[in-house]
Amino acid sequence: MTHKVIKSAFKPVLLFVALFAFAVAAYSAATSASADSSDPAYSKVYNEAKKHLGSRYVYGAVGPTNFDCSGFTKYVYKKSIQKSIPRTAQAQYNGTKKVSKSNVQKGDLVYFGGSKHSISHVGMYIGNGRMIDSQNRGVITENVYSPWWHVVGFSRPTTLSYDD
């Protein structure tokens, strides 16, 4: 009998916790969506990157129809906001302002490889643990934290705001 009383007493608590978690998730999604609409520079970069989804990966290619990873990020920044960044993934990492994982923002670059001195891939962070990148399957949107990627750092090529 006591077990049933305890079990039924927890139902309202569990319901409250579930509703609270749902409310927090909804609020987080709403504030993240509103950040896109209030940030015209990020919107330009993101919209340019999205135009190329499905483009073929070709080693050494810098666009506008075929890309390698760093050719893609270089092309997107130059075409969308006239920001010139270095050509290779390692040079992009070396030549841009580093940011921590906890401070990464949409439009920042995310780097992969063996270490910060051995970078082999770059993608553009688009929020919610996702990126747009050019890799062997072409230009796609995918998870940053996938088993086949080893994140070694993040950088901010430019501040994407009204102040640019």
Return the active site residues.
69, 121, 133
Q: What is the DSSP letter of 55?
A: P
- Give the burial class of 117: count Cβ atoms within 10 A of its Cβ; 0-12 exposed, 13-18 middle, 19 or more buried: exposed
How far apart (Å, rounded) are the C-alpha atoms in residues 107 and 159?
A: 9
Closest among 143, 147, 94, 149 to 116, alpha carbons compared? 94
DSSP 78: H
Token pair in block for residue 85: 């960044």
Closest CA to 158 of 39, 62, 33, 61: 39
